[in-house]
Structure 1
Amino acid sequence: MSAPALPTVPVGRALLVNGLLAFVAGYVDVVGFVALSGLFTAHVTGNFVLIGAEIAALSTQGVVGKLLALPVFVVVVAATRLAVLHLEHRGRGPLRPLLGAELLLLGLFLAAGLAARPIVSADSPPAMLAGLLGVAAMAIQNAKARLILANHAPTTIMTGNTTQVVIDLVDLLRPGTIDREASRTRLVRMAPALLIFAAGALLGALGFAAASFWCLLAPMAALGVLVLGTPDARPA
């Protein structure tokens, strides 16, 4: 049975939002990973794999920060949910305030990262503060993807996107596929997010190598574009 089609939204708007947010997620995730001994900021459950790897190698480098990432992520997601309910109760669209909050947290991630240099240990308090601010920013992005952008393709965890893209490609190439239009629609929405996430990850690695935490100005600029271009109303 094929996956259900995504609800209809303007394709151009969806691609713009998805593209910029996928770029932000890929970029920030790699900066955290490179700068903070393998800390995932967007894909937080991946930190448990790395904790296991460190324990197997009889190392504790970065373990404390990775352990704290999940509870911080959970708290921020819960706070985001409450904020969305509050804003909707007051008749305000939640997307723009959440984008602004994510932008603010990325700015604090940048500032804390600069203050923590040189990072000798990812478990030093300044380094952990920087990493957890990055986790908090990506927690907001993960939460809003579920709460108010559920009709857009996911932008933070690409495993599901990759799986669906492959399934839809097979269905489009297979003779006799019944719902080709649904497969084509999903492919148009999901494939760009996947490719842009990968490009963001590559650029994040190059940016950090060239400019340290200053490179976070790039995803902040992408979020700034979305903040300025988002009306203060609930998206369709």
Structure 2
Amino acid sequence: MPPPPRPDFLRHRFGAALWLDLTAGFVEMIGLVGLHGLLPVQVAVNAPLAIAAWSQTGQDFVARTLAIPVFILVTALASRALSRAGHGIRLASGHLLFFQCLLLMGAMAVGVLLGPFPRSDAPAAVAAGLLLVSAMALQGVGAAWLWRERLSLVSTFDLARLSIRMGRGVCRGRDVSPQLMRLGAFIVGAGVAALVFPIAGFWSLGLAAAGSLVTLFHFVPFDFARAFADVGRR
């Protein structure tokens, strides 16, 4: 008699969220210091920055302009693929985190081989930036499936919603602490990247890729045997 299938589960659910936010803060700072102000995580902020660049002759705007449609496209395609896959939530999200790791390593390779970039609109810089944007889009979709949340990364919308609830007096300490801890993880990740990037350059993206692998194997955890079996059934 075959053994029963292993259940989909998350190990250390909140720890996984903190680790993903740490990775997100790290990648955000790499975009800021290594790609001249591109924001791979808070992608919507690139819109006013691109508009401001359009209004000033000689300012770079291509990478910021492309970041938003690329983020939307990758998020939509990944969400559609997950909804049609029929996998368990844990296994399907694990696939996304695995591909996120590959995209981060791809951005690292572009930066190491072709960087440093004199301007953000250099073709190689645009390629590296869009790889980072795509990687964070996959992380967002994967985390959203894991936690069934609309907003899976720390964002200004999360902080605004939390502040409104605090102002109304309907937010208790146990509601505030997790969000503040996740914000702290994002800030710590950004601070580490700010310290490491001047020394290691784009090699530092290897730490972000390692963060994805830690989440993938320790917190999710991902099962390669089930993944290969699923591929074989296709």
Which TM-score tier does this pair reach, normalised by the shorter chain?
A: 0.7 to 0.9
2:104 to 98, 103, 106: 106
Summarize the alignment of residues 1-236 of structure 1 with structure 2, pairs less than 5 Å apart.
13-61=12-60, 63-88=61-86, 93-151=91-149, 154-155=152-153, 157-167=154-164, 169=166, 183-229=172-218, 230-232=220-222
Change (3 A) 1:150 1:89: closer
TM-score by length of 1: 0.80
Residue 152 of structure 1: CA displacement?
9.3
Unmatched tracts of structure 1, length 5 or more: 1-8
Change (3 A) 1:58 1:194: same
Q: Which amino acid aligns with 1:227?
A: L
Q: Is the 8 A contact 1:38 1:50 kept in 2?
A: no
CA distance in 2 between partners of 1:75 and 1:25 (Å): 19
Please give the per-residue CA displacement for 1:37-65, whole angstroms capped at 9, x wherever unaligned: 2111111111112112223443322x111
TM-score by length of 2: 0.80
CA distance in 2 between partners of 1:129 and 1:206 (Å): 24
Aligned residues with identical type, % of pairs: 29
Q: Is the 8 A contact 2:215 2:221 kept in 1?
A: no
Residue 69 of structure 1: CA displacement?
1.0
Unmatched tracts of structure 2, length 5 or more: 1-8, 224-234
Q: Which amino acid aligns with 1:123?
A: D
Length, aligned pairs only: 214
Which residue is equivalent to 2:3?
none
Residue 197 of structure 1: CA displacement?
0.4
